[in-house]
Structure 1
Amino acid sequence: MTEHPSPAVASTPPADPGHLANRATRAQIWRLIRPFWVSEEKWKAWALLLSIIALNLGMVYINVRLNSWNRDMYNVLQSRDYPQFKSLLWQFSGLAFVFVAIAIYSVYLKQALQIRWRYWMSTRYLDQWLAHRAYYRIEQGQEGRLSDNPDQRIAEDLHALTSDTLSLVLGFISSSVTLFSFIHILWSVSGPLSFSAGGHSWVIPGYMVWFVIAYAAVGSGLVWWIGRPLVGLSFNQERFEANFRFGLIRVREHAEAVALYRGEAQERTQLTARLDDIRRNWWDIMRLTKKLNVAVNFYGQFAVIFPMLVSAPRYFSGAISLGVLMQISDAFGQVQDALSWFINAFTTLASWKASINRLAGFHADVERAAGMARTIEVTPHAGSAVTVSGLQLSFPDGAPMMRSLDARVESGEHVLISGPSGCGKSTLIRAMADVWPYGHGQVGLPQDAPVMFLPQRSYLPIGSLRAALSYPAAEGSFEDALITRYLALCRLSHLADRLDVAANWSQALSPGEQQRLAFVRVFLNRPRILFLDEASSAMDGETEEVLYAALPRELPGVTVISIAHRETLARFHDVRWKFVPAAAGEGEGAGHRVQMQPIAS
């Protein structure tokens, strides 16, 4: 049985999520955003971005024209000038047509840029996650790891990063241009405000500008003060949602085992507990959002009437016309909306910051896994033997697992590893296969010798049976006649006519069939070094012996290092490596050591 299984990432939440929710620095944010814009895609990306900005500037220009049109229309209505009214309607139709065309292509180009950025980022993160076996190492349950649910971070958080970043940046640019375009209009049409106070006469030029700045500053400060906790709550909500989804996937993947154990009640308890996390955090978000909406809606609604209240005295005194009053109201609304960018974008900012924090943690963990000190060196050499020098294994927390091992496995030799469950047998061949990083020592593998590892539970990709049989080689790498021959050898002839059938084969085949299918892969891919980690434990004894006997016949000179508990398999091996408890004098918790015993033929 495979020892020391790695815990699922989602099962252990990150420590102190409140702290992690605020950890991304400006430098980390820049490291996440910058690479795409200086990559091989930069020319297309910048061309799209500048085109979108140009279209947004065009929309602002049309809004400025509509502001003047708005003034003229109300003046025409006030004077009942019908010919001028018809002319203004034609003018509006032209502006509206151009505005609609610009709006359509602005969204279209933004979506094109978004998918380019997301695709580039996703492929880059997939490369980093899969390189140096980082996907395996960050699953080892190290203390302080951040990357719960890496699937969500690659799929959803990268999507949020690209879409929200573009929305926020383009929104900020549009608001800035709108502000500078309308603030001079508001300054010129609002005129001065004169009043007396403290025995002095005061004149405030462009007084509406100062009113709108003060109004937006107070509103933005209030929204920030109320909404600060939303970043942490959004961070936790994403984590809880991913944990719940992961639990559902686990039930689906292990449906047969759950059904046989009658474990529905326990699964429901665990899933409900994760759903309760979602509900509690969502209620916190709801309560905070309610307070935020009170502030935002009062702020937005009062902004509609505020400019008219302030301008009304000048209008009723006859200082300005109805058209100018409406122009002031529209210009005030445009400036107020531009200054309220922070308020309008606050929810998006909170979600964006939560995604940034999660990606920053994931990026740091991937880099840490890739840069992890390789204290167990697995290196190629010019010889034909597998060599082990001073190899010691430990648990991730540093506790000793296996004492120092020195060994040599000659080409074509078959080694049987045996010992009690949990002693470190599987970990030993993981280390020799260069996937276990905890411990130190050297392992030498023959240069250019293909290596293959068969775990107890075989991995079967979803797709055609031909693809599952060929894995890790690409589908179509082997002729059907060869596949059919080895299916017969591994007693799977009943699958020969299903090579093009696509299915979830890990659910469609029994454990014994899955292990026999893995042996078909061995014969097709023809490794020179083969690690078997109880790879036949689910087979009947007769089939198991047939396949072990076929290995040297079908793969002449293959080196086999296998773990098995059935003593009947010993006759297919030359040497036994037996795990025994370390001597008492080697210290408390000294783990196990390996005894080497020849197997009589």
Structure 2
Amino acid sequence: MKRVGSYLGDWWRLVRPYFRSEERWIAWSLLIGAIVLTLSAVAVDVAYNEWSRRFFDTFQNKDEPGFWREMINFTWIAALTIAFAIARGLVSPYLRLRWRRWLTGHYLAHWLDGRGYYRIELERKIDNADQRIAEDLNRLGLYTMQLLLGVIGATATLVSFLFILWQLSGSLSLAFVGIDATVPGYMVWVALIYAFVGTYLANLVGRRLIPLNFAQQALEADFRFSLVRVRENAEGIALYHGEPAEQHNLVERFQAVFMNGWRVLVTSLQLAFYQTGYAQIAIIFPYLVTGPRFFEGAITLGVMTQTAQAFGQVQTALSFFIDNYSTLAELRAVMDRLNGLQAAIDHRPATAIDVAAEQGRADVGADSLTLSLPNGQALLHDTTFVLPRGRSTLITGTSGSGKSTLFRALAGIWPFGAGHVRVPAGARVLFLPQKPYIPIGTLRDAIKYPDENSTASDAEIAAALEAARLGPFVGRLDEVAHWTYVLSGGEQQRLAVARALVFKPDWLFLDEATASLDEPTEAAIYGELKRRLPNTTLVSIGHRPSLRQWHDRQVELQRVPGQVGHLLEAKAAGPA
């Protein structure tokens, strides 16, 4: 019972938000409509059961006029059955579609808000958040509607046909076992015992499917992610001639998919074997029980047929969980994955870096800044520094010293640490990482990114491309492409520079943003930045000595691996 309560509690926490959202009125209307259609279908089944008794009695009584009359009655029952089926095929899927749309928007907003997606990738506490949003949200609505309407239909069917079965089955004398007593409505008790024993045994067979289905979804997502990684890094793999290693890795991942899939298959076959045998016995069982009474003349052919059908309906209703055990197991796995995603999104580090915009402030600075790696290793401790406005600053340091982590902290995206980062209120700030992000779309939109409200003209964009040494692309502004695959690494970095020239930030931070360029091109790019953005303060992270000439100030991050680092002032060569 505790396990059932936990199951329902987790399910309700995932389902409740939509039915309390701004779409709640249409959501509840569609849900009530789906329930009414389900109950209407049960009513039609009851009418069909009653019709069956009358119809087969016309054969026993050789009542030809009654036969044709019942054939006409059947057309009405069939028409209602078809109409309700079509209506259910519209209402329930439409509810699921709207529900999925709302859930996707809801989870995407929370995933992106507060950079939850970024923390998840840093902490690696869950796998494949994208797969959980794309697939598990769809399955949540699908399995919920399937099971909810199934339970409601099974309950209505059980109540309706238990009453019919009670009336039809009569009493059973226990004299044949030496007991002077009778059991009223004996077919009802037989159906209940048959179904409850079957449900208990199905649970013993099928409960192993829950962890297996959970693992299968995770393994499938891992395999798909590995395939995407090969596609996204095709050039690097080809240059390394890494095909054998990649094939080995992919085969290993698929082997895990295969082995777990085999375990799912074997367990599902065991459950299907039991379910099929259980269902086959249920077909003949009511005739075994009612046959002797028919041959004794105690009941008519129509009554025996109606009783068998009523028994079948009761048995099917009571066996709902047996027949849907696989779906219940899959829903449990879906809920676990969505709960894990929600927990990962909601998780916040115990300490955080406060990034605030201050009125009247001219400089960017940090007070009592502490930076740590996700594993808790400290990079900087209680550090205070200022980046003066109008003075370009070069930050240097050995590889792995934590320069890029400092860059992320200044950008306000690094979640591990404490202290304060202060920026001028209203300042336009742009950060260029070593590997720029370029969205799929037109080249014009790629250059304007992320400023959706940019009013930059095509002439300004063309000038920025020329300055970034990307003149041949000026005529391709309307071309839609996956520009990350079209442009080389150096061209991607120059596109990011063109983006900065169009954005015209007050503060421009560059983290190895020209590392893929040769020194003459890098010098030309910095010259264009200095000439075209005279009011922009540059803060660069880099290794090349040639960068010093473009900065007024140099700060070195000195850190020995495993220890806390320090920021030390150094003398730059001066501006060009």
Q: TM-score, normalised by structure 1?
A: 0.92
* Corresponding residue for residue 353 of structure 2: 376
Deviation at 1:151, TM superposition (A): 0.3
Quick one: higher RCO (CA 8 Å, sep 6+), 1 or 2? 1
Shift of 1:64: 0.6
Q: 1:352 to 1:524 in 2, by over 3 A?
A: same
**In the alignment, structure 1 residue 493 sits paired with structure 2 residue 471:** yes
3-state SS in 2 of match to 1:138: helix
Partner amino acid for 1:253?
E
Q: Which of these residues, 242, 264, 287, is aligned with residue 285 of structure 1?
A: 264
Of the structure 1 ranges 434-443 and 148-157, higher mean CA displacement relative to structure 2 is found in 434-443
Partner Cα distance (1:581, 1:286) in 2:
54
Alignment equivalent of 1:598, drawn from 567, 571, 576: 571
Aligned equivalent of 1:131, options 101, 108, 113: 113
Match of 2:157 in 1: 178
Relative distance call for 1:253 and 1:205 in structure 2 (3 A) is same
Partner of 1:31: 13
| 1:156 equivalent in alignment to 2:129 | no
> Relative to structure 1, is the Cα distance of residues 27 and 199 closer, same or farther in structure 2, using a 3 angstrom cutoff?
closer
SS at match of 2:122: coil
Residue 549 (str. 1) matches residue 503 (str. 2)? no
Instruction: For 1:143-292, list aligned pairs within 5 A.
Output: 145=125, 147-196=126-175, 199-292=178-271
CA distance in 1, matches of 2:539, 2:503: 17
Contact 2:170 2:186 in 1 (8 A): yes
Contact 1:451 1:530 in 2 (8 A): yes
Is 2:73 the partner of 1:94?
no
Is 1:244–1:275's contact at 8 Å kept on the other side of the alignment? yes
**For the Cα contact (< 8 Å) 1:24–1:356, is it kept in 2?**
no
How far does the alpha carbon of each residue in 1:243-285 deviate from its partner, in whole angstroms, 9 at most, with x for none?
0000000000001111111100111111111101111101111
1:397 aligns to what SS in structure 2?
Answer: coil
Q: What secondary structure, in the 3-state scheme, does the structure 1 residue paired with 2:401 have?
A: coil
In structure 2, the residue matched to 1:470 is: 448
Q: Report matched runs for 1:46-65 at 5 Å.
A: 46-65=28-47
Once residues 502 and 559 of structure 2 are traced to their aligned partners in structure 1, the CA distance between those partners, rounded to angstroms, is 39
Amino acid paired to 1:249: V
Kindly state the Cα deviation for residue 39 of structure 1 after the two structures are TM-superposed.
0.8
The residue number in structure 2 matching 1:69 is 51
> What is the SS of the residue equivalent to 1:507?
helix
Q: Deviations over 1:395-448 (max 9, x none)?
A: 212222234432111212211011111111111111111111222222111111
Instruction: Provide the C-alpha distance between the structure 2 equivalents of 1:189 and 1:365, rounded to a whole number of angstroms.
Output: 57
- Deviates most, 163-172 or 477-486: 477-486
What percent identity do the matched residue pairs reach?
42
Aligned partner (choices 321, 324, 348) of residue 303 of structure 2:
324
User: 1:84 corresponds to which residue?
Assistant: 66
Contact 1:24 1:357 in 2 (8 A): no
Amino acid at match of 2:568: Q
SS across alignment from 2:98? helix
1:27 Cα deviation after fit: 3.8
How many Å separate the matches in 2 of 1:92 and 1:496?
73
Deviations 1:3-55 (A, max 9, x none): xxxxxxxxxxxxxxxxxx99976544322110100111000001001111111
Deviation at 1:80, TM superposition (A): 2.4
Aligned residues: 571
Query: What is the one-letter code of the residue matched to 1:406?
Result: T
Unaligned runs of 5+ in 2: none
Q: CA RMSD in A?
A: 1.8
Query: Aligned to 2:121, what secondary structure does the other structure show?
Result: coil
In the alignment, what sits opposite 1:339?
A: 318
Contact 2:393 2:553 in 1 (8 A): yes
Measured in 1, the distance between the counterparts of 2:410 and 2:116 equals 17
Give the 3 Å change call, closer, same or farther, for CA 597–479 of structure 1 in structure 2.
same
The answer to which of 343-352 and 372-381 deviates more is 372-381
Structure 1 pair 496/475, CA: closer, same or farther in 2 (3 Å)?
A: farther
| Cα distance in 1 for residues equivalent to 2:10 and 2:358 | 40
Write the distance in 1 (CA, Å) between the matches of 2:32 and 2:352: 49
Alignment-mate amino acid for residue 332 of structure 1? F
